[in-house]
Structure 1
């Protein structure tokens, strides 16, 4: 995919996510890996009104080379890129239900999204909770480094979801599935829920290997 096509795809998906209420105001950020570096959504930008020509371009070392100043969440994104060589996109949102789960004190920190449907297993797998850090803090990088090789998705404590994938389309689809699974988890709290059995999860993991 050409750089211009990647730019246009970031704009397309940003508008779609914003218009469907999956991230509000200037919250959330996205990035994509290029042959010669990375594209990031700019700092304080609204995903619904991105300009393809003003996206932040960074070189392969992470140095800003063109476009508006990049999101402050660079350490978060580079934690995934450094640990997942096949990852070509990272999406971070403040979607309502996934963020709600990230604020609950009794979720499993090793896997905040219970295996209620096959699709959450197929798209995001186990979703650990990353301890709280200030948004944009470099302190998040070692926390992501410790998890990203084994987990393509995490919940930032009291903050929201992050997903890495082999393409921007796949990252968006995965974070949407994570949000839907989080919604189900919140709606079903306190009820007697039938989770997928271990054998079913193993079969899904065998047939739908996450990248």
Structure 2
């Protein structure tokens, strides 16, 4: 995929997320690796529903902004994933409703944020780490991701939103959608004795699909 196609794909997938209510207003940000090792990043203050391929922030392989509009203030989050996960080709951050709601629940497992309700979140995300609340744009968010040493492809920022790294833009978007859908299921099932997957079933999924699963 050339850079023109990548720019168009970023904007197309971002609009799809926006149109389905997975982020709103000017919330959320998205980035992807270019063929020369640089980055394309959604600009600050822009809406996922109206991204312009020609105005995406363009960084070179040294992390220097060389073209486009000023980038999202959440660049430390994106940089932390790229620097610690060599397989990361894209990063997406949303303010999706159900995952944010689940992050506020007092009994959520900080080390394994999503309950094992279906195989798909396990397959696409592995364990999701719940990070504490940070002020928007705080570089400490990036430091917290770096502290995971590349062991997680997804984190949940408490009272804020999920951040997911994937091999490419499509994979990252698919994974963050699965995160939100699993959180929606979890919120729907609160107060109900639902039959979640057993520990044995989770281990079989992890083994069969070669999932990164930090025990």
TM-score (norm. length: structure 1)? 0.96
Q: Is the 8 A contact 2:111 2:128 kept in 1?
A: yes
CA distance in 1, matches of 2:113, 2:149: 15
Counterparts of 1:31-110 in structure 2 under 5 Å?
31-36=31-36, 37-110=38-111
State yes or no: 1:144 paired with 2:133.
no
Q: Counterpart in 2 of 1:189? A: 190
CA distance in 1, matches of 2:106, 2:34: 38
CA distance in 2, matches of 1:146, 1:184: 29
CA distance in 1, matches of 2:135, 2:62: 24
Moved over 6 A (4+): none
Across the aligned residues of Structure 1 and Structure 2, the Cα RMSD in angstroms comes to 1.2
Deviation of 1:207 after TM superposition, in Å, equals 2.6
Q: Deviations over 1:19-72 (max 9, x none)?
A: 101000000000001132000000000001011000000112221110000000
Classify 1:95/1:74 alpha carbon distance in 2 versus 1 (closer, same or farther; 3 Å): same
CA distance in 2, matches of 1:167, 1:115: 25
- Unaligned segments of structure 2, at least 5 residues: none
Paired residues in the alignment total: 211
TM-score (norm. length: structure 2)? 0.94
Q: Deviations over 1:49-105 (max 9, x none)?
A: 011000000112221110000000000111111111011000000011011112223
State yes or no: 1:4 paired with 2:1.
no
- Unaligned segments of structure 1, at least 5 residues: none
Q: Is the 8 A contact 2:95 2:161 kept in 1?
A: yes
Q: Counterpart in 1 of 2:21? A: 21
Counterparts of 1:168-207 in structure 2 under 5 Å?
168-207=169-208
Deviation of 1:128 after TM superposition, in Å, equals 1.2
CA distance in 1, matches of 2:124, 2:114: 12
